[in-house]
Amino acid sequence: MQIIDGKATAAQIKAEIAEEVKQIVANGGKRPHLAAILVGHDGGSETYVRNKVLACEACGFKSTLLRFEDTISEEDLLAEVDKLNRDEDVDGFIVQLPLPAHISEQKVIEAIDYRKDVDGFHPINVGRMAIGLPCYISATPKGILELLWRYHIETSGKKCVILGRSNIVGKPMAQLMMQKQYGDATVTVCHSRSRDLKKECREADIIIAAIGRPDFVTADMVKDGATIIDVGTTRVPDATKKSGFRLNGDVKYDEVSPKCSFITPVPGGVGPMTICMLMKNTLSAGKKEFYR
């Protein structure tokens, strides 16, 4: 069994990006610039955005953080999005989710210029991804593809079971794993209403678990030699931690890991790759790789 080290892989990719940025700037090119909008004071969002800003520094990007109180109106937030759309110095930007209940997340996502949508959440990017056109691919599925690729894990013709059908992970992951140019696999998507979910999992060469239910995938659901990708990051109370909680994956790691050929740990697997792929998308935005 081999542990897929997302932390080390992410560090390596960030170093590769930093090197490329150095070259771009040395050749008189523009330093990539990522902006982030953070509304309110949600603890998780604060941490994510702080880590995104730090990752920008590690990659040699310029970053701008725009903070607003959670009392900001939808109209005012849309006006801020529009400002970033028009700001020629900003190559890409994100609006950190979740947003307060009085603001429509979908409306905000659709207001972002798809050419600057480095989260890959805009319907134009989602649609282009689905039909295999160049576009921003959202960070978590992109990070999983990168891990499979860097660990030389064969996916072509393999049976891949995806647990979960969210817009951010399950759905795009299924699209990418089935496409010839990415996974080229036979894909089954299972969710809360799926019958014979255990049987589907037992037949899988690759399981990608993204349902947000701690320890859901148990040893009896896993074929010998399978590859297990754990996207779960549920905060569970843990008195032994300074923060009072720990991150728990969707996979019962201790009993599943001895059975598989590859597995991602939680933390340190898929998680670190996510921000790293946002950096890759920002580099692409700076280079105008997908859109002029």
Residues 6+ apart with CB under 8 A from 90: 33, 34, 35, 64, 84, 116
- Residues numbered 128-157 forming contacts with ligand GUN, rule: CB under 6 A: 139
Reply yes or no on whether 52 is catalytic: yes
Q: Name which position in 95, 148, 270, 277 contacts ligand GUN (CB under 6 A).
A: 95
CA dist., res. 204 & res. 183, Å (int):
14
The Cα diameter of the chain in Å comes to 58
Q: Residue 42 catalytic?
A: no
Footprint on residues 105-124 left by ligand GUN (CB under 6 A):
119
User: Could you tell me the smallest distance in angstroms from the CB atom of residue 279 to ligand GUN?
Assistant: 12
Q: Which of 5, 91, 117, 119 is catalytic?
A: 119
Cβ closest to ligand GUN, residue 11 vs residue 97: 97
Q: Which DSSP state fits 4?
A: -
Q: Is 80 in the site for ligand GUN (CB under 6 A)?
A: no
SS3 96: coil
Cis check for the bond before 134: say yes or no (omega within 30 of 0).
no
Binding residue (CB under 6 A) for ligand GUN from 94, 221, 229, 266: 94
User: How does strand 245-248 pair with strand 234-237?
Assistant: antiparallel
Per the annotation, the verdict on 280 as an active-site residue is no
Identity of the residue, 94 or 103, whose beta carbon is nearer to ligand GUN in the bound complex: 94
Q: How far is CA 161 from CA 109, 130, 210, 290, in A?
A: 29, 18, 11, 30
Q: Which stretch binds ligand GUN (CB under 6 A): 90-98, 128-136, 182-190, 259-267?
A: 90-98
Residue numbers at the binding site for ligand GUN (CB under 6 A): 94-97, 119, 139
Q: Which residues are catalytic?
A: 52, 96, 119
